[in-house]
Structure 1
Amino acid sequence: MARAADERQQSLLQTVVAVVSALGIGAGGLLFGTALTVLAFLVLQFGAGIDLTTAHLLVLGLIFVQGVGCAGVALAYVRFRPRIAPAIRDLLGIDGPLVQFDIHASVPSFKDVAVVVVGYFLALAAAIGGSLLASQLAVDTGTNSAAEVGMENPEIILLLIPASLLLVGPGEELLFRGVVQGRIRTVFNPVVGILVPSVAFAGLHWFALSGGSTAGNLFVVSLLVLPALVFGVSYEYTDNIVVPSLIHGFYNATLFTGLYFSVVYADQTVQSALLAL
């Protein structure tokens, strides 16, 4: 009886540690990248005397948040966890072997390519359909900060399109699917392992929204869970981080392409549908 109770306590403790560490790494990667972005901005603006604009700040964010914060923290966590985790487990009194996980990446197979194509259209349909619904319902949603900068500087959108494929998709997927989902999957089944990172990923987009009502921004965040679920399912199914990275990258690139043409041709309907994404 006592042994069974001890095993349940150990299992609960391992679950709590897994969830806290996974979500902490996810949020920590973004915060670390944001701190580096602010530091770089201050150094360039006040140290080097370079007059920087919000567009420059966006570029710095792409480099330090997605490139260093997301990708760098994810890869560092996977590499150093086997060395650090035993000490933490001893401190918390967790018994048993350390459950290992890794981020698998390989050249996509034909099956992987098919998943990329299907996932891309599913994610895009979910996002645009939901955003158009918000527009039709006249929900007071906030504006995505990157899209807002792009509205004021259309040429920046042309930078955001390749950056989606080279930095945003790979960086955010390494962190949220590779690490957050991978870590949670060590203690939960696939459904929970996909759902928790997807909700966390969408929820963190709250901080990228400016303006809008609380209800409207909650509506936007709930919509973003849908493409996040597509990313998560594709990674679970293929076990290849390249697959969700490509889906995410092409998804973002398509949204920015649509925003660019809507700005150039002053299509207010498309603009309102894409600004919150």
Structure 2
Amino acid sequence: MSNVDTRRSGLIRPVAELVGLTVVAFLVSLVAGVAFIVPMFVLGYGIETTGVLIGSTAAGQVAFLGVGYAYSRLRDISVSIARPSGRQLLVALGGTVAALVVATLLSVLLTVLDLLPQSVIGDIATRNPTFLLGLAALSVVLVAPAEEWLFRGVIQGRLRQRVGPTPAIAGSSLLFGSMHLVNYSGSLLPVFAGASLIVVVGCVFGALYEYTDNLAVPIVTHATYNVVLLILSYLSI
């Protein structure tokens, strides 16, 4: 067997394992969210009230974080995270601007190509705008930390050990984007186009992690990015 074949066969197992990890994290998150909603429904709370929506999202994200943390311990993956320095906060700010610019340009392109998907969150927000504000707050305290821990800290860290930083950024971002397929509705092509936009934004987050070696930087960037988009969406309703 050639060296190329050996390296390729050596990659199949960890890549399949990380794909499986993403699927498991998503399913556990989904089950946790539903487990929160069911008793609320039985008690007479509306499923689309802000409290229930935020509570179910929070439950899912806690479960999501738990899966990522358990895997990092199982595989002894070291995730570098510390209080960001002033310089690193500036890097995070620059990353936020870059992510917003990229997302805006790609959104315009998708609109021109008639490939801009419908957003599930947008549909909910039309009926309950305050959900966007609650989700913005949750993004800071839970969503961004949980997603960055799994995709940048754990998955990107694991891939980096095997293939180096650049392929690791691409691989983790592809999995990051695939998890967001459920954020969109409509025909398949626009849904995949929307997820592709998330892949590119994920590459920005991944590059920040590699550049600073501090997971706090992409967490801050991810949280700020979400907050800006959610507040703009709220103001536009």
Q: TM > 0.5 between the two?
A: yes
The alignment status of 1:77 with 2:62, answered yes or no, reads: no
**Fraction of identical pairs, as percent:** 29
The Cα of 1:44 is off from its aligned counterpart by 2.9
Counterpart for residue 262 of structure 1: 236
Q: What CA distance in whole angstroms lies between the structure 2 residues aligned with 1:128 and 1:7?
A: 43
Q: Out of 221, 231, 237, which is 2:195 matched to? A: 221
Q: 1:62 to 1:7 in 2, by over 3 A?
A: same
Contact 1:126 1:227 in 2 (8 A): yes
Q: Out of 64, 84, 87, which is 1:108 matched to? A: 84
CA shift digits 1:123-173 (9 cap, x unpaired):
000112211232344x15332222221121111111112111111111111
Q: What CA distance in whole angstroms lies between the structure 1 residues aligned with 2:83 and 2:165?
A: 24
Q: What CA distance in whole angstroms lies between the structure 2 residues aligned with 1:28 and 1:132?
A: 33
Which structure has the bigger radius of gyration? 1
The Cα of 1:7 is off from its aligned counterpart by 7.7
Q: Out of 56, 76, 88, which is 1:61 matched to? A: 56
CA shift digits 1:214-264 (9 cap, x unpaired):
22222222222221110010111111111111111100110001001101x
CA shift digits 1:170-226 (9 cap, x unpaired):
111111111111111111121110001111211221122122x22222222222222
* Secondary structure in 2 matching 1:185: helix
Q: Out of 49, 52, 75, which is 2:46 matched to? A: 52
Q: What CA distance in whole angstroms lies between the structure 2 residues aligned with 1:236 and 1:103?
A: 12
Contact 1:105 1:242 in 2 (8 A): yes
Amino acid at match of 1:51: Y
Q: How big is the alpha-carbon RMSD for the aligned residues of Structure 1 and Structure 2?
A: 2.0
Contact 2:80 2:214 in 1 (8 A): yes
Contact 1:22 1:179 in 2 (8 A): no
Contact 1:150 1:156 in 2 (8 A): yes
* Paired residues for 1:46-195 under 5 Å: 46=42, 49-55=43-49, 56-69=51-64, 71-82=65-76, 101-137=77-113, 139-195=114-170
Contact 1:123 1:230 in 2 (8 A): yes
Q: 1:145 to 1:57 in 2, by over 3 A?
A: farther
Counterpart for residue 25 of structure 2: 29
Amino acid at match of 1:129: L
Q: 1:57 to 1:21 in 2, by over 3 A?
A: farther
TM-score normalised by the chain length of structure 2 = 0.90
CA shift digits 1:57-104 (9 cap, x unpaired):
5313321222222x111111112335xxxxxxxxxxxxxxxxxx3111
The Cα of 1:10 is off from its aligned counterpart by 6.2
Contact 1:23 1:180 in 2 (8 A): no
Contact 1:37 1:57 in 2 (8 A): no
Q: What CA distance in whole angstroms lies between the structure 2 residues aligned with 1:20 and 1:57?
A: 35
